[in-house]
Chains A and B, each alone.
Chain A
C-alpha cells in the first residue's frame, strides 16, 4: 500500500494547520473586525447595529493624543534600541573564535526571559530608595534621592531594556550575511568610511533594521504592564487603552477598532519590510552577487 488517499499525510498536515490557524487566528480576527463596526451594548458586549462611530472616535483629539503619545514612546524606544543595538550587533557579528557562540547565547537568553520579571527587576533598580539612587548617593553625586521611577523616561528605559534583544537578533542575522568583500571593494575604490556606511552597509542591512524595528515597535505599543509598573499608570499606551476598553470601560467595539488600527500599522510595516527585501535583492543583482 502506498498512500491511503483518504488519509494522506500531506493533506492531514496541511489541513490540521489550516484548521487551527483558521479557527484561532483568522476567525477571531474577523470577529474583531466585525465588532469594530458595531455599537456598544448596554448590558451585552455589543449591539448588532452597524456604525462607523468607533473609527470616528479615534480621530477625536483625546484619542489622537493617545496614539500620538504611544507612537512617540514606541518610536523613541525603537530609536534607542537601534542606536544601541546596531553597533552592538555589528561588533557581535565580527567576533571570531570560540566565544562567539557564548556571546550570542547571552543575547538569546534575555530574548526568551519573561519581560515581566525583567520589568520588575527595573523597578528594583529605579525605586526612590532603590539600587540606582543608593549608588548615586554613595558616590556623592546627589544628596537626596532623585525621581527615576514613575516617569516617561522610566517607561522608555523599561521598554528598551525589555526589547533590545528583539532588535539585536535580526540585525545580527543580516549583518552576519553581509559580504565583507563589498566593503573592501569600496575601500579600494577610494570611498570614505562614512560613505561606505551610508551607501553600502545601511542599505544592505535594511531588512534587518526593519525587521528589528518591527519586533520592537509593535510590542512596545502593546506592553501595557510596563507603563503601569514603571510609569505610575500615567503614560497611556495603545495597549493600555485597548486593555482598558475590554477590562474596565467595557466598550468592546471601540477597543476592537483601536486594535484594528494596530493591525493596520503592522501591515504597513510588513509591506515596507517586503519592499526593502525586494530592493535589497535587486541591489545584490546590480553588484553581481
Chain B
C-alpha cells in the first residue's frame, strides 16, 4: 500500500513538475522537421520540445479546436488554413519585433492576401503538389498532365494524397475548373470524374508519400515536391512532373494558437528556425524550398537549381494557390466522403 501511495504521489507530482520546466508543444506535419534541429534547439535553450505530427490541415485544425488552443504552442497550417484560423480568432497576433531573423525571409512570400502584413503567420516552407512517377516503370513523357493518370494502364498503381483539398482540387482542374471552385455542380462533376480514377488508385496516403514510391508500392501519383525531391535524391528514377493543367501551390506557415501557454518559447523557436544555418539543415533534410533568402545563399547550386524544389517561372504556369473556401468546405467534405465510400466498394 505504501508503495502504491508513493507511486500515486509520484504520478501526481510529475505533470506539475513538467509545467515548470521549459517546454514547447510543437505540432507539425509528418516528415517536416529534422530531429537534429529539435535537439540543437533544446541544447541551446534548455527548452524541451514535445513534438507531435499530423498529416492533413483538417486533422490539425480539429485538434487545435478540440484543445481550445490550450495545448499546442506552435502549429504549421497551410495558407488556406491560416486565413480560416485568423477569421475564427484562433491565432495569436505576432510581435514581429521579437523575431530578429524575420528580415531573412523572401519578401515575395510575405504580406500575402491570406495574412496581410504577416500579423499572424511566418512562412515555414512553400511548395507544389504535382505528379511523381518511377521512370523505370513509366516512360519519360508519358505523363505530362493530371488527366494522364486516368489511363487504364495505371490500374491499381497510383498514390493519391489522403488530403481532401488536394484530390478534389485535382478533379476540378482536370475538368477545367479552378482548384478553389465552390460551385456544388462543379464539385459533383469533379467527384464523378474522380470516381472514374478509383480503379487506378492503390492507396490514399499522406504521411510520407516518398516511401511508397521508393519501395515500389506505387508507380505514379500525386506527391508534394519536397517529398519528390528526397525520393529523387535517393533513387534517380523517381521523377517529378509539373502537370499542364497547373500544379497546386501552397505556403505552410508557423502560427501560435490563441491560448498557447509557452508564448516566449514559441517566439524563440520561430526565430531559431529563421537562422540561416538552421534553415539550411531543414531545407536539406525535408527537400522543400526555403522561404529564407539567407538559407538559399548557403545551399549548393545543385539544390537551388533543382527544378523539383525550386520551379522555374515556366513550371508555375497555370499554378493555383490553394485558398480558403469558407463555408463551402462542407461541400468538399461531402463529396470527399462520397469518394472514399466509393473507393471502399472497389
Q: Do A and B come from one complex?
A: yes
B201 touches A234 (CB 8 A): yes
* Complex CA–CA separation, A244 to B62 (angstroms): 10
Minimum CB distance partner of A68 in chain B: B345
Which of B103-111, B248-256, B295-303, B335-343 makes up part of the contact surface? B335-343
Known A69-B345, A236-B341; contact A150-B202, beta-carbon cutoff 8 A: yes
Q: Does B314 contact A (CB under 8 A)?
A: no
Residues of B within 8 A of A69 (CB): 341, 344-345
Partner of B215, one of A129, A147, A236: A129
Q: Of A158-166, A190-198, A245-253, which binds chain B? A: A245-253
Question: Contacting B203 at CB < 8 Å: which of A152, A233, A244?
Answer: A233
Chain A residue contacts of B65, Cβ below 8 A = 45, 250
Is A232 a contact partner of B215 (Cβ separation < 8 A)? no
Residues of the A chain whose Cβ atoms lie less than 8 Å from the Cβ of B88: 43
Cβ–Cβ contact B58 & A147, under 8 A = no
Any chain A CB within 8 A of the CB of B217?
yes
Which range contains the number of A residues in contact with the other chain? 20 to 34
CB-CB contacts below 8 Å: A60-93 with B: 62-63, 65-66, 69
Per the bound structure, the CA–CA distance linking A152 and B88 in Å amounts to 40
Return the contact of A232 from the options B61, B62, B202 (Cβ within 8 A).
B202
A168 on interface, CB distance cutoff 8 Å: no
> Is B193 an interface position by the 8 A CB rule?
no
Per the bound structure, the CA–CA distance linking A61 and B50 in Å amounts to 42
CA distance A271 to B314 in the complex (A): 67
Q: How far is the CA of A128 from the CA of B159 in the complex (A)?
A: 14
- Bound Cα distance from A65 to B344, whole angstroms: 9
Partner of B346, one of A62, A145, A149, A234: A234
Q: Shortest distance in angstroms between B300's beta carbon and chain A's nearest beta carbon? A: 32
Query: How far apart sit A147 and B199, CA to CA, in the bound complex (Å)?
Result: 13
Are B203 and A150 neighbours in the complex by a CB distance under 8 Å?
yes
Whole-angstrom CA separation of A250 from B338 in the bound complex:
17
Contacts of A279 in B (CB 8 A): none
CA distance A45 to B340 in the complex (A): 24
CB distance from B161 to the nearest CB of A (A): 10
CA distance A247 to B341 in the complex (A): 18
Q: Which residue of B lies closest to A44 (CB)?
A: B65
What chain B residues lie within 8 Å of A145 (beta carbons)?
A: 216
**Residues of A with C-beta under 8 A to B66:** 45
Chain B residues with CB below 8 A from A244, complex form: 337
Contact-residue bracket for chain B: 20 to 34
Closest B residue to A150 using CB positions: B203
Q: Is the CB of A65 within 8 A of B345?
A: yes
Give per-residue flags for A25-40: 1 if the beta carbon is below 8 A from chain B beta carbons, else 0: 0000000000000000
B264 at the interface (CB under 8 A from A): no
| Contact, CB under 8 Å: B215 / A235 | no
Contact partner of A147 (CB less than 8 A), chosen from B61, B62, B156, B345, is B156
CB-defined contacts of B345 to chain A, threshold 8 Å: 65, 69
Give Cα A247 to B63, complex, Å. 7
How far is B328's CA from A168's CA once the two chains are assembled, in angstroms? 49
Q: Which B residues are in CB contact (< 8 Å) with A63?
A: 341
Known: A127-B215, A248-B62. A62 touches B204 (CB 8 A): no
Q: How far is the CA of A66 from the CA of B342 in the complex (A)?
A: 9
Is B234 on the interface with A (CB-CB < 8 A)?
A: no
Q: Is B177 an interface residue (CB 8 A)?
A: no
> Distance in Å from the Cβ of A143 to the closest Cβ of chain B?
15
Q: How far is the CA of A247 from the CA of B61 in the complex (A)?
A: 9
Q: What B residues does A150 contact at CB under 8 A?
A: 202-203, 217
B56: Cβ under 8 A from any A Cβ: yes
Partner of B217, one of A43, A149, A152, A236: A149
Are the CB atoms of B344 and A66 closer together than 8 Å? yes
Is A234 a contact of B203 with CB atoms below 8 Å? yes
Taken together as a complex, chains A and B put the C-alpha atoms of A236 and B198 apart, in Å, by 14
Within 8 A of A (CB), among B186-216: 201-205, 215-216
Q: Does B59 contact A (CB under 8 A)?
A: yes
B285 interface contact, C-beta 8 A: no
Any A CB within 8 A of the CB of B333: yes
Query: Contact between B344 and A235 (Cβ–Cβ < 8 Å)?
Result: yes
B217 contacts across to A, CB distance below 8 A: 127-128, 149-150
Provide the bound-state CA to CA distance between A92 and B334, in Å.
Answer: 49
Residues on A with C-beta less than 8 A from B156 are: 147
Q: List 10 A-B contacts (CB under 8 A).
A: A43-B88, A45-B66, A66-B341, A69-B341, A150-B202, A234-B201, A234-B344, A235-B344, A236-B341, A236-B343
Footprint of B on A, CB under 8 Å?
A: 43, 45, 62-63, 65-66, 69, 127-129, 145, 147, 149-150, 152, 232-236, 244, 246-250
Leading 10 A-B pairs by shortest Cβ distance: A232-B203, A233-B204, A234-B343, A236-B344, A248-B58, A235-B344, A150-B203, A250-B62, A65-B341, A69-B344
